[in-house]
Structure 1
Amino acid sequence: MAPVSEQPAPQGAGDPPHAAATPLPDPPVEEPRRENGGEWCPGSGNPVAPSGESGAQPRAATEAPGSAAAEPPEGGWGWVVMLAAMWCNGAVFGIQNSCGVLFVSMLQLFDDGEDKQLAFKTAWVSSLSMGMVFFCSPIVSIFTDLFGCQKVAVIGAAVGFAGLLSSSFVSTIEPLYFTYGVLFACGCSFAYQPSLVILGHYFKQRLGLVNGIVTAGSSLFTVSLPFLLRVLIDSVGLYNTLRVLCILMFILLLAGFTYKPLVPNAKDKEGGKKGKFRFPPEKKICNFSVFKVLSYRIWAFGIPAALFGYFVPYVHLMKHVKDRFGDSVPEEVLLLCLGITSGVGRLIFGRVADYIPGAKKVYLQVASFFFIGLMSMMIPLCHVFGGLIAVCLFMGLFDGCFICIMAPIAFELVGAQDVSQAIGFLLGLMSIPMTVGPPIAGLLRDQLGTYDVAFYLAGVPPLIGGAILCIIPWVHERQKLKERAKPVDGETTEKMLDNENTLVLDTTEKPVKEMESGV
């Protein structure tokens, strides 16, 4: 669509009659490309603000309906939004990553001495919670596009608050599957994803820096929250600790109100045009065309294959340390090490990925899975606490590497147009192994009396998944070579159509000229 300066001026009273009677047809409008819930201008690679709820729009964006969207303000209210998104990232994943402390407390609270599968049953609580956060990602993407960031985030935080509060009133382990594993986790998912989408409304040039600060919230909470949880559990018990955590969710609810999008969402656009909201076509809501890309299919199924053992250390490491070393060591230090080095890894490898071209960034994920698998296998071999600290330092470093380059790889494989839903589908597929892995490890612990075999087996899937991902750069290069041959045929066809249109115009213009000469 032409910019404001190129739009034809409106016809006035002094214009010639034929100019008003025969307006020129509008040029064809190219379908805007979308990334991360945001709109992309035709023919450009620069993101405009993601779709969100209608809010205070900049002047340039509201001058004319056909004008190009304004540049993000690069600050202002955006810094408040950044802090709110940082709190969201920290609150959601700080609680999820500290589940090992809650897991030990649940075992002590619900242990009646008769249930021989208590570790297996209790592990399902944390596994369901983390799995549902990712499982809901494709659904959250759709709701964010339809209703905007603010409404989705606020409602999600309210649901998470209700789930966490209701978890503090249960008397057995089974209700926690729903209150904590489903209700609380779904609320976290709906609150989390809009916090990333809204950043594109306010930042463009500084978006990398802002994303780094926001994701650092997860590391900060992961470092500090385990110690706070241990103090709270020892002093007021598990139930009151969960009620204290509700304060974090209530602040998250208030933070959602700061997400004032600068671009109307789908509901506002449709309602403004027709006065009544209608859902967009199904193909626009769920875009399954990304699975037609072979390299993406390999990536989308290779990563889940590598994650069957990924969440096992976060859930069971605290209990393993208590079984092996008793109360003589501060097991929360291990989560501290994981959180610190994960934040460092995101900064280092995120920068390194900028210098690796194209789909070869996948090799960073291959290396990260190799080291994560190796470190998981080394956990049972550590008979001194210092060895476990070294293992967690390396594991956190490569965990940050794996996480920080997911979006750049998705961009390389499917392009800007489909990257948002490509990431959503991937996170949804990741939820399955992350949910199944820890309960299996708990079952092995119940049957064998030790976590050794569980940690050995947890290291195998990352090695297998990493081997699968190795072929992606080669497959992607072959796809690009095939696509380079297609534009040649397309250009030839386009030229033939242009020549045909020229001939048609010439044949229609001649009779008109003859009639005018006759008159």
Structure 2
Amino acid sequence: EPPEGGWGWGVMLAAMWCHGAVFGIQNSCGVLFVSMLRLFGSSEDKQLVFKTAWVSSLSMGMVFFCSPIVSIFTDLFGCRKVAVIGAAVGLVGLLSSSFVSTIEPLYFTYGILFACGCSFAYQPSLVILGHYFKKRLGLVNGIVTAGSSLFTVSLPFLLRVLIDSVDLYNTLRVLCILMFVLFLAGFTYKPLVPNTKDTEGGKKGKFKLPPAKKICNFSVFKVLSYRIWAFGIPAALFGYFVPYVHLMNHVKDRFGDSVPEEVLLLCLGITSGVGRLIFGRVADYIPGAKKIYLQVASFFFIGLMSMMIPLCNVFGALVAVCLFMGLFDGCFICIMAPIAFELVGAQDVSQAIGFLLGLMSVPMTVGPPIAGLLRDKLGTYDVAFYLAGVPPLIGGAILCFIPWVHERQKLKAKAKPVDGETTEKMLENESTLVSDTTEKPVKELDSGF
């Protein structure tokens, strides 16, 4: 049983820093995006927004695309080693991004190398929490994921000040400090559950590579409710990352420099953190797979708010939209791990989360460049934001079926053991009857004497 505290509180803080460093930088990409347009762009390039959007989009997509691979490494070598090596790779990628002179090398240094390192550091922070908490897992997940909100609130203003004073290159070097602290935080992930390396080869024995079935555990896809969840969420995310990348540029197009566009990321970050804490705690009181309904409501409101962005002709209305969007964004994120535990169990949760995040990478990578291409062709972001609101509504509708499917699966699973138990009881009854008949004469003789 998980200890429900102790060293787990230190692990929680380390995981909180991980979420803050990784997604604080990723969610603040709108500020970096505007700076990249100014630094690398030229008036002759008609596809400038499309090209630049690939940097941030590729980075966020790779964080999730690597997740199935990261889950395999986590099962093989444990959370601590994977997290520490991942943070080191991310540090190298971010540092090398500060020495490029054109936009193209950033596709590799920032979009792939830095993002892969973040992915290897991020996923163990989700898995390790299940080792230390069970009853409080929803609350702890809410606190941990709120780390990204705290960084999303503060980083845009810090990045704006740094970029204006020391340029983009030195700003990226300052961000390397966050990755170095993340490297140190990975050492706190003390494993309580043995990894595959220990179970297969023994702690003192030589390491044997386990069978392929244990390395790639595709058996999670045999669970129908997980299959629906793993394909329903990616379907909802084609427009999810579009506001984070393009909202700042949309504000500049519509309102010019007369408004502080960083306030919008501040609103997203604050309410996202509040949503993670509130809905993480609420999820602890919702039984089983019915937690999915929280995600359904989240996608409905996220889609609706995305469609309302072009309708906001006053900056205050845009602030209100971002407040609501952040609140339900926090709800969607904080209950991902608890839902995975409900659908597949603790034994398979690492790879279940890994496969889900890997499938999420495709829509999250494709969405922002398509929005940038629409902006280049049409001269406005209006159509891009309208279209970005459609996939969450579709994905939410798909997820509605999961609790019903999951309950049917549980009923079927209960029916099978019951049949087995009844046959065992019948055999036991028969054996007791036989023993009773043999013992009766002996008892009668004893009573006769």
Q: Do Structure 1 and Structure 2 share a fold, with TM-score over 0.5?
A: yes
Q: Is the 8 A contact 2:94 2:109 kept in 1?
A: yes
Q: CA deviation at 1:415?
A: 3.2
Spell out, residue by residue over 1:346-393, the C-alpha distance to the aligned partner (whole angstroms, 9 max, x if none): 122223233333322222211111111110000001011101000000
Q: CA deviation at 1:491?
A: 2.8
Alpha-carbon distance between aligned partners in 2 of 1:380 and 1:287, rounded to the nearest angstrom? 44
SS of match in other structure, 2:203: helix
Q: CA deviation at 1:209?
A: 4.4
Q: Is the 8 A contact 2:142 2:334 kept in 1?
A: no
Q: Is the 8 A contact 2:66 2:358 kept in 1?
A: yes
Q: 1:437 to 1:514 in 2, by over 3 A?
A: farther
Alpha-carbon distance between aligned partners in 1 of 2:225 and 2:193, rounded to the nearest angstrom? 33
Q: 1:191 to 1:299 in 2, by over 3 A?
A: same
231-240 vs 481-490, greater mean Cα deviation? 481-490
Select the residue among 423, 430, 438 that pairs with 2:368: 438
Spell out, residue by residue over 1:2-44, the C-alpha distance to the aligned partner (whole angstroms, 9 max, x if none): xxxxxxxxxxxxxxxxxxxxxxxxxxxxxxxxxxxxxxxxxxx
370-379 vs 492-501, greater mean Cα deviation? 492-501
Q: Is the 8 A contact 1:160 1:187 kept in 2?
A: yes
Q: Is the 8 A contact 1:86 1:217 kept in 2?
A: yes
Q: 1:82 to 1:298 in 2, by over 3 A?
A: closer
Spell out, residue by residue over 1:32-91, the C-alpha distance to the aligned partner (whole angstroms, 9 max, x if none): xxxxxxxxxxxxxxxxxxxxxxxxxxxxxxxxxxxxxxx656555444433322221111
Q: CA deviation at 1:493?
A: 4.8
Q: CA deviation at 1:395?
A: 0.3
Q: Is the 8 A contact 1:157 1:252 kept in 2?
A: yes
Q: 1:514 to 1:446 in 2, by over 3 A?
A: farther
Q: CA deviation at 1:497?
A: 7.3
257-266 vs 174-183, greater mean Cα deviation? 257-266
Q: CA deviation at 1:273?
A: 6.0
Alpha-carbon distance between aligned partners in 2 of 1:110 and 1:406, rounded to the nearest angstrom? 37
Alpha-carbon distance between aligned partners in 2 of 1:278 and 1:504, rounded to the nearest angstrom? 50
Q: Is the 8 A contact 2:235 2:363 kept in 1?
A: yes
Alpha-carbon distance between aligned partners in 2 of 1:211 and 1:492, rounded to the nearest angstrom? 41
Q: 1:346 to 1:333 in 2, by over 3 A?
A: same
Q: 1:510 to 1:287 in 2, by over 3 A?
A: farther
Q: CA deviation at 1:486?
A: 2.3
For the pair 1:497 / 2:441, whether they are aligned, the reply is: no
Q: Is the 8 A contact 2:235 2:392 kept in 1?
A: yes
227-236 vs 84-93, greater mean Cα deviation? 84-93
Spell out, residue by residue over 1:449-491, the C-alpha distance to the aligned partner (whole angstroms, 9 max, x if none): 1100000000011111111122222323333333343234323
Select the residue among 205, 219, 239 that pairs with 2:149: 219
Q: 1:210 to 1:323 in 2, by over 3 A?
A: same
Q: 1:201 to 1:352 in 2, by over 3 A?
A: closer
225-234 vs 476-485, greater mean Cα deviation? 476-485
Q: CA deviation at 1:319?
A: 0.5
Select the residue among 8, 12, 15 that pairs with 1:85: 15
325-334 vs 74-83, greater mean Cα deviation? 74-83
Alpha-carbon distance between aligned partners in 1 of 2:37 and 2:412, rounded to the nearest angstrom? 56
Alpha-carbon distance between aligned partners in 1 of 2:285 and 2:233, rounded to the nearest angstrom? 23
Q: Is the 8 A contact 2:143 2:276 kept in 1?
A: no
Q: CA deviation at 1:145?
A: 1.9
Q: Is the 8 A contact 2:289 2:402 kept in 1?
A: yes
Alpha-carbon distance between aligned partners in 1 of 2:435 and 2:348, rounded to the nearest angstrom? 38
Q: CA deviation at 1:139?
A: 1.5
Alpha-carbon distance between aligned partners in 2 of 1:128 and 1:503, rounded to the nearest angstrom? 71
Q: CA deviation at 1:508?
A: 17
Q: 1:82 to 1:293 in 2, by over 3 A?
A: closer
Larger Rg: 1
Q: CA deviation at 1:198?
A: 3.2
Q: CA deviation at 1:446?
A: 0.5
297-306 vs 260-269, greater mean Cα deviation? 260-269
Equivalent residue, structure 2, for 1:517: 447
Spell out, residue by residue over 1:197-218, the C-alpha distance to the aligned partner (whole angstroms, 9 max, x if none): 3344555565554433322211
Equivalent residue, structure 2, for 1:99: 29
Spell out, residue by residue over 1:69-124, the C-alpha distance to the aligned partner (whole angstroms, 9 max, x if none): xx656555444433322221111110011011111111111112111111111111
Q: 1:321 to 1:501 in 2, by over 3 A?
A: farther
Q: Is the 8 A contact 1:338 1:396 kept in 2?
A: yes
Q: Is the 8 A contact 1:270 1:276 kept in 2?
A: no
How many residues were matched structurally? 449
The TM-score with structure 2 as length reference comes to: 0.91
Q: 1:518 to 1:447 in 2, by over 3 A?
A: farther
Q: Is the 8 A contact 1:345 1:399 kept in 2?
A: yes
Q: 1:457 to 1:512 in 2, by over 3 A?
A: farther
Q: CA deviation at 1:170?
A: 1.2
Q: CA deviation at 1:321?
A: 0.4
Alpha-carbon distance between aligned partners in 1 of 2:112 and 2:437, rounded to the nearest angstrom? 68
Q: 1:515 to 1:162 in 2, by over 3 A?
A: farther
Q: CA deviation at 1:328?
A: 0.8
Return 5+ residue gaps in structure 1 as ranges: 1-70
Select the residue among 96, 99, 109 that pairs with 1:179: 109
Spell out, residue by residue over 1:266-312, the C-alpha distance to the aligned partner (whole angstroms, 9 max, x if none): 32444436721012222222221221222221111111111000000
Alpha-carbon distance between aligned partners in 2 of 1:456 and 1:466, rounded to the nearest angstrom? 17
Q: 1:464 to 1:262 in 2, by over 3 A?
A: closer
Q: 1:251 to 1:368 in 2, by over 3 A?
A: same
Q: CA deviation at 1:161?
A: 0.6
Alpha-carbon distance between aligned partners in 1 of 2:378 and 2:428, rounded to the nearest angstrom? 75
Q: Is the 8 A contact 2:33 2:52 kept in 1?
A: yes
Alpha-carbon distance between aligned partners in 2 of 1:516 and 1:264, rounded to the nearest angstrom? 57
SS of match in other structure, 1:274: coil
SS of match in other structure, 2:5: coil
Return 5+ residue gaps in structure 2 as ranges: none
SS of match in other structure, 1:260: coil
Select the structure that is richer in helix. Answer: 2
Q: Is the 8 A contact 1:157 1:191 kept in 2?
A: yes
Q: 1:120 to 1:514 in 2, by over 3 A?
A: farther
Q: 1:190 to 1:502 in 2, by over 3 A?
A: farther
Q: 1:138 to 1:203 in 2, by over 3 A?
A: same
Q: Is the 8 A contact 1:344 1:400 kept in 2?
A: yes
Q: 1:415 to 1:258 in 2, by over 3 A?
A: closer
Alpha-carbon distance between aligned partners in 2 of 1:506 and 1:279, rounded to the nearest angstrom? 53
Q: Is the 8 A contact 2:99 2:169 kept in 1?
A: yes
Q: 1:274 to 1:511 in 2, by over 3 A?
A: farther
- Structure with more relative contact order (C-alpha pairs < 8 Å, separation 6 or more): 2
Q: Is the 8 A contact 2:146 2:277 kept in 1?
A: no
Alpha-carbon distance between aligned partners in 2 of 1:511 and 1:164, rounded to the nearest angstrom? 87
Q: 1:87 to 1:416 in 2, by over 3 A?
A: closer
Q: CA deviation at 1:187?
A: 0.3
Alpha-carbon distance between aligned partners in 1 of 2:276 and 2:104, rounded to the nearest angstrom? 36
